[in-house]
């Protein structure tokens, strides 16, 4: 009983259907795609309603675009354009309708849109024939309700317990384009290692996975390496893998194993008087380097960096290039910045008081973010520029405008499907510079609770025009140290 045209009009019998669309983004999240997802998840309405299931999918997605508005404000944006059906549901009706919908259709819709999109000639997404991806974990604050507290739990630290429950999300991000290859949601009490193990389902041969020190443990390394993907992970400084074979470039070969096996290898590597023990593990190459940041005033800040990689050929994969490539991992955090600040709004708490509603709301954020990235990558490909030059803020702002004006809501429009958005994001004044000087932003371990608390964090001023030097530490001294 859901009509296929956009916007949806009143039928011959006088039954009014609400307008389900998302502006120009409707060209990507098409009505046929939404209908297929609803049919697959069994969420098509059983009787004629003023708020059909398809309409509610678009409404939930619009909630992600207009996060600062209440239900009535989001609905007003959907029906603001001339010619939209005169349907005026209450906030309670909208809340009940989205609860009937549930999170399953939004999860299935995200599954249809996730995945890498970079072309093979996209330099920022590839390195020596390998597609670079990165994963990381973050948290989303949800409403402080009994249901959310019992499911999510609270984060705690030296300053006490967080004031809101949190949903943990781990995502695999494609470097360069910053699209989401995959994502896993769960309670905050769920460990990052557990979620990353699930993310291994998205890894493929030909990928190079970058990860920070949060990815640790032999089990996770084995699961990731078993997919055929290559690894480049940072290792904590307190973990010293045994030196099994020193390479000419200063790196050395070792193995990622369990604790007991690692101790056996370490004892053998110190003396090597017996036959090497038979150990099951993942062969790795260890790169130790010193990263020195020199500010414009001449002050230097050195940092030790220990990386492990499954790229064992030191000639084909130079250590200095790998040490420089590792910092591309920060694009996962840049993706979280776009998702949590640009789209959702800084420090905004998800409005849903029920756990399934909160997951539905979060999946809507992921979908809208993913579609915005798709539009940016497509526009960059047509214009022949790097996708990182396109502003996500301009993309989101223009998408909101097309929702209010119902621009591009007819599925029969010709390609390109997003002319207004593309015209805005490709405007020369909105593009970032093709070359930007290196800028170091000191990391804040704990973000301020308010703008007036923890003023000491304001002393972590950025370092503009910084010069970075990477020096590979040779394995000779390390081998001597382990044998003494």
- Reported as a single tens digit per residue, the pLDDT across 266-314 is 777 777 767 777 778 889 999 998 888 888 778 888 888 899 999 999 9
Q: What is the pLDDT of residue 277?
A: 73
Angstrom distance (rounded) from CA 374 to CA 389: 14
CA nearest neighbour of 25 among 341, 336, 331, 343 = 343
Question: Taking the chain, what is the end-to-end CA distance rounded to the nearest angstrom?
Answer: 79
H/E segment holding residue 415: none
pLDDT tens digits, 181-210: 999 999 999 999 999 999 999 999 999 999
pLDDT tens digits, 29-50: 999 999 999 999 999 888 777 8
Q: What is the pLDDT of residue 478?
A: 53
Q: How many C-beta neighbours within 10 Å does residue 422 have?
A: 22
Vertex 247 angle, CA 243 and 249, to 5°: 125
Q: What is the pLDDT of residue 410?
A: 58
The residue ranking higher by pLDDT, 5 or 226, is 226
**Integer Rg of the chain from CA:** 25
pLDDT at 385 over 80: yes
CB 145 within 8 A of CB 354: yes
pLDDT tens digits, 321-339: 999 999 899 899 999 999 9
Which one of 12-16, 307-311, 477-481 scores highest in mean pLDDT? 307-311
The residue ranking higher by pLDDT, 271 or 457, is 271
Q: What is the pLDDT of residue 439?
A: 62
Angstrom distance (rounded) from CA 424 to CA 325: 32
Q: What is the pLDDT of residue 349?
A: 92
pLDDT tens digits, 212-253: 988 888 899 999 999 999 999 998 877 788 888 889 988 999
Angstrom distance (rounded) from CA 146 to CA 353: 8
The dihedral region occupied by 30, where left means phi > 0, alpha psi between -120 and 50, and beta the remainder, is: beta
Q: What is the pLDDT of residue 1?
A: 32
The residue ranking higher by pLDDT, 296 or 16, is 296
pLDDT at 94 over 90: yes
Q: What is the pLDDT of residue 427?
A: 92
Which residues are paired to 307 by β-bridges?
Answer: 234, 287
- Sign, CA torsion 391/392/396/402: positive
Peptide bond into 429 cis (omega under 30): no
Cβ-count burial of 218 within 10 angstroms (0-12 exposed, 13-18 middle, 19+ buried)?
middle
Question: What pTM was estimated for this model as a whole?
Answer: 0.88
Tokens of 382: 């047509």
Q: What is the pLDDT of residue 361?
A: 96
Q: What is the pLDDT of residue 82?
A: 83
Q: How many C-beta neighbours within 10 Å does residue 96 have?
A: 13
pLDDT at 418 over 90: no
- With H, G, I as helix, E, B as strand and everything else as coil, classify residue 205: coil
In percent, the amount of the chain with pLDDT more than 70 equals 85
Say which DSSP state 339 is in: I
Average pLDDT, the chain: 84
| Position 115 confidence tier, pLDDT thresholds 50, 70, 90 | very high
């Amino acid at each position: 009983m859901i009509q296929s045209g956009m916007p949806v009009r009143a039928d011959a019998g006088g039954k009014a259907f609400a307008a389900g669309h998302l502006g120009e983004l409707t060209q990507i999240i098409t009505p046929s795609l939404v209908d297929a997802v609803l049919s697959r998840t069994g969420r098509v309405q059983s009787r004629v309603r003023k708020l059909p299931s398809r309409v509610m999918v678009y409404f939930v997605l619009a909630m992600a675009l207009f996060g600062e508005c209440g239900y009535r404000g989001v609905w007003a944006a959907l029906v603001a354009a001339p010619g939209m059906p005169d349907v005026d549901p209450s906030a309670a009706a909208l809340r009940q309708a989205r609860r009937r919908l549930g999170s399953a259709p939004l999860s299935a819709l995200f599954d249809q849109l996730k995945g890498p999109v970079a072309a093979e000639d996209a330099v920022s997404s590839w390195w020596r024939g390998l597609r670079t991806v990165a994963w990381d974990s973050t948290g989303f604050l949800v409403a402080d309700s009994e249901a959310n507290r019992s499911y999510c739990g609270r984060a705690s630290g030296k300053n006490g317990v967080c004031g809101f429950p949190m949903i943990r999300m781990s995502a695999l991000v494609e470097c360069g384009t910053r699209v989401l290859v995959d994502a896993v949601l769960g309670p905050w009490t769920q460990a990052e290692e557990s979620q990353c193990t699930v993310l291994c389902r998205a890894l493929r041969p030909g990928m190079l996975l970058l990860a920070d020190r949060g990815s640790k443990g032999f089990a996770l390394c084995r699961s990731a390496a078993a997919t055929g993907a290559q690894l480049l992970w940072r290792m904590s400084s307190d973990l010293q893998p045994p030196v099994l074979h020193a390479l000419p470039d200063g790196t050395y070969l070792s193995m990622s194993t369990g604790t007991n096996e690692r101790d056996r290898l370490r004892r053998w590597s110190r003396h090597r008087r017996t036959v090497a023990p038979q150990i099951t593990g993942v062969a790795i190459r260890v790169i130790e380097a010193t990263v020195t940041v020199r500010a414009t005033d001449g002050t230097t800040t050195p940092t030790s960096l220990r990386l492990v990689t499954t790229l064992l050929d030191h000639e084909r994969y130079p250590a200095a290039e790998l040490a420089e490539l590792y910092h591309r991992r920060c694009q996962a955090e840049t993706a979280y910045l776009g998702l949590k600040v640009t789209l959702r709004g800084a420090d905004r708490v998800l409005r849903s008081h029920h756990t399934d509603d909160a997951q539905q709301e979060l999946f809507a954020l992921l979908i809208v973010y993913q579609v915005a990235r798709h539009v940016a990558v497509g526009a960059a490909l047509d214009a022949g520029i790097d996708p990182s030059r396109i502003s996500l803020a301009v993309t989101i702002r223009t998408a909101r405008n097309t929702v209010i004006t119902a621009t591009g809501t007819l599925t029969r429009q010709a390609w390109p499907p997003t002319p207004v958005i593309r015209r805005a994001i490709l405007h020369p004044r909105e593009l970032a510079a093709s070359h930007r000087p290196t800028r170091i932003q000191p990391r804040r371990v704990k973000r301020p609770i308010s703008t007036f608390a923890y003023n000491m964090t304001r002393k972590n001023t950025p370092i503009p025009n910084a010069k970075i030097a990477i020096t590979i530490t040779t394995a000779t001294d390390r081998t001597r140290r382990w044998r003494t």
